[in-house]
Amino acid sequence: MPPRHQGNANTESVDNYLKAILALSGPEERRASSSSLADRLGVAQASVTNMLQKLATSPLSFVEYERHRGVLLSAAGKRRALEVLRHHRLIETFLYEVLDYPLEEVHEEAERLEHFISERFEERVAAKLGNPKFDPHGHCIPAMDGKMAKQASVPLTELQEQGTFTVDSISDQDAPLLKRLKAQGIIPGARVHVTKGGADDLVLRTSAASKKLHLSRNLAAAVRVRSAH
Amino acid sequence: MPPRHQGNANTESVDNYLKAILALSGPEERRASSSSLADRLGVAQASVTNMLQKLATSPLSFVEYERHRGVLLSAAGKRRALEVLRHHRLIETFLYEVLDYPLEEVHEEAERLEHFISERFEERVAAKLGNPKFDPHGHCIPAMDGKMAKQASVPLTELQEQGTFTVDSISDQDAPLLKRLKAQGIIPGARVHVTKGGADDLVLRTSAASKKLHLSRNLAAAVRVRSAH
DNA sequence: GCCAATATTTAGGCTTGCCTAATTATTAGG
DNA sequence: CCTAATAATTAGGCAAGCCTAAATATTGGC
């Protein structure tokens, strides 16, 4: 059979570009620069330009791209990116809840599998888990129609006042770091009392251990909190 | 980072060639011909020759290949093929047992995912399932060390005598066909009484429905039985 | 408003794995 | 045992995605 050659299909690589654009655009949907994409994806800048040109040209038109001006997801692109994100977070939840993975290992596995599961798999996993709204890092799982709740949390590093907060989510980007947070009881849902809000040395207390904790900027940046109820 | 370029790594494609060679070699470990591989993999013969040459040349040496004489798995190749087969069958079992997939859908999903799961995933799934020995089609799941029980069953089409048998396994290759077998109660473990052994029209009775069943050659070839206890 | 620093794009190449068409081996029949 | 049919290989190409190096835009500082 001749290759489908449908412009530019849903390959793993395309999915990864779309996901990266989604992440870099943020809630305000800023244009993402080629270099930021190259950074995030770990490829050369030229590769990014190349792919963006292909994506922009493709009849599927996942992106709106202008030379030297960065890129933005189209409606179709956003839909696809959110679908992959949904896959990712459902898989993470599944690995954690059903297969008892250690929290810090779910991301890497999900990153690989998200590209290859079928609609049926997605549906069955969601059903098994009771259509969860959040993954084990506390991140919101996009609904099937792509709708996703807005984030009302703030990184620990940007906290304005001291006080008591609930851990909303922790970053999945760095496994060893995540493991350290976990070891100190900083997981989604945990209560933290922040007693010193310096940018470089955050002091807090968790409800688990009553000892004071010092968080480096690194660690603190990986934690988002919201007001405690 | 420079590409690993380690001769010929464990790509999806390589895995599929190794699996196909394993299947075509059979228990007697016959040499597999290029054309049979091309057939099974749905690629051109030239593609097979090409890949076999690469595999044979690679330092990993997964195969023993001789021009015009077909190919055989090396110890390393067999090890790898059995690992992928283990992945495949564990995933099938998992989809069936844990995610409640319809039997006829597990194969296709497993065929895709088998290449991408980690060792951890394999280990966790096996644990969750209690280290199963058989997949839902009745096929033996290779152990971690590659050991696999010998098959003591025979296809319905090669039955010498009439009598009562236990369904050992049913083929996973053709989903619609599998669905028809399932609908007639012919699934692993079912008891069948074969009353007429003609090659083209097999007549039998299952313990479920007491009506007589006629199986076409197609269907019968997809069923393996063993003596009933 | 110009120029250097930085960001981006173009040009040209590479590997993987596939393809078709043409060629060469092997094998089976008379 | 030779030839025709069949099987396998070689030759030459293509698309996807990546790369480096060279060229070109954009931008911030003076």
Facing residues of B223 across strands? B170
| Residues in CB range of A226: below 8 A, 6 or more apart | A152, A153, A154, A165, A166, A168
Facing residues of B203 across strands? B196, B214
Predicted local confidence at residue B197, as pLDDT: 66
Facing residues of B72 across strands? B64
Rounded CA gap, A32 and A21, in Å?
A: 6
A124 closest CB neighbour out of B100, B121, B124 = B100
pLDDT tens digits, one per residue of A163-176: 889 999 999 999 99
Please indicate whether residue B158 or residue A109 has the higher confidence score (pLDDT).
Answer: A109
Q: For strand D, which nucleotides have at least one atom less than 7 Å from a protein CB?
A: 7-12, 15-22, 25-26
Sketch the domain layout of chain B as residue ranges.
12-73, 154-227
CA angle A52, B2, A32 (to 5 degrees): 25
Question: Dmax of chain A from CA atoms?
Answer: 66
Predicted local confidence at residue B89, as pLDDT: 97
Predicted local confidence at residue B182, as pLDDT: 93
Task: Name the strand (E) or helix (H) holding A155.
Answer: strand A154-155
The residue in chain A having the minimum alpha-carbon distance to the alpha carbon of residue B3 is: A43
Q: Which of residues 56-95 of B touch strand D (CB under 7 A)?
A: 67-68, 70
The residue in chain A having the minimum alpha-carbon distance to the alpha carbon of residue B125 is: A99
Q: Does A105 touch chain B (CB under 8 A)?
A: yes
Give the three-class secondary structure for A151: coil
pLDDT tens digits, one per residue of B146-201: 777 777 898 988 888 888 999 999 999 999 999 999 999 999 999 998 887 666 67
| Four-CA torsion A137, A141, A147, A153, nearest 10 degrees | -10
Contact across the interface for A121 and B99, Cβ inside 8 Å: yes
A113 closest CB neighbour out of B100, B101, B113 = B113
The residue in chain B having the minimum alpha-carbon distance to the alpha carbon of residue A100 is: B124
Q: Is B17 exposed, middle or buried (0-12, 13-18, 19+ CB in 10 A)?
A: buried
| pLDDT averaged over every residue in chain A | 90
- Band (pLDDT 50/70/90 cuts) for residue A118 is very high
Predicted local confidence at residue B24, as pLDDT: 96
Lowest mean pLDDT among A4-18, A135-149, B23-37: A4-18
- Band (pLDDT 50/70/90 cuts) for residue B204 is confident
Rounded CA gap, B119 and A28, in Å?
A: 39
Contact across the interface for A125 and B100, Cβ inside 8 Å: no
Contact across the interface for A109 and B120, Cβ inside 8 Å: yes
Distance B144 CA to C17 C1' (A): 30
Tell me what percent of the residues of chain B surpass a pLDDT of 70. 93
What's the mean pLDDT in A20-29?
94
Q: Does B118 touch chain A (CB under 8 A)?
A: yes
- Band (pLDDT 50/70/90 cuts) for residue A68 is very high
pLDDT at residue B34 tops 50:
yes
Contact across the interface for B117 and A113, Cβ inside 8 Å: yes
Predicted local confidence at residue B1, as pLDDT: 38
What's the mean pLDDT in A95-103?
97
- B108 contacts in chain A (CB < 8 Å): 118
DSSP characters for A1-53? ------SS---HHHHHHHHHHHHHHTTTTPPBPHHHHHHHHTS-HHHHHHHHH
What's the mean pLDDT in A61-70?
94
| Residues in CB range of B179: below 8 A, 6 or more apart | B102, B103, B104
Proximity of residue A93 CB to strand D below 7 A: no
Fold of A12-73: Arc Repressor Mutant, subunit A (1.10.10)
pLDDT at residue A158 tops 80:
yes
Tell me what percent of the residues of chain A surpass a pLDDT of 70. 93
Q: Does A3 touch chain B (CB under 8 A)?
A: no
What's the mean pLDDT in A48-52?
97
Structure token pair of residue A54: 């292909």
Q: What are phi and psi of B42, to 5 degrees?
A: 70, 35
pLDDT tens digits, one per residue of A177-221: 999 999 988 999 999 888 876 666 778 888 766 678 888 888 888
Rounded CA gap, B138 and A28, in Å?
A: 53
Proximity of residue B45 CB to strand D below 7 A: yes
pLDDT at residue B138 tops 90:
yes
Predicted local confidence at residue B201, as pLDDT: 74
Q: Which of A170, A82, A72, A94 is nearest to B94 (CA)?
A: A94
pLDDT tens digits, one per residue of B46-63: 999 999 999 999 998 899
| Amino acid code (one letter) for A54 | K
pLDDT at residue A6 tops 60:
no
Fold of A154-227: SH3 type barrels. (2.30.30)
What's the mean pLDDT in B101-105?
96
Tell me whether domains B12-73 and B154-227 share a fold.
Answer: no
Structure token pair of residue A133: 């709204």
A128 closest CB neighbour out of B99, B117, B118 = B99
The residue in chain B having the minimum alpha-carbon distance to the alpha carbon of residue A110 is: B117
Cβ neighbours of A103 (radius 10 Å): 20
What's the mean pLDDT in B56-81?
94
ipTM associated with this complex: 0.89
Length of chain A: 229
C-alpha distance from residue B197 to each of A134, A202, B168, B187, B227 (Å): 57, 80, 18, 19, 15
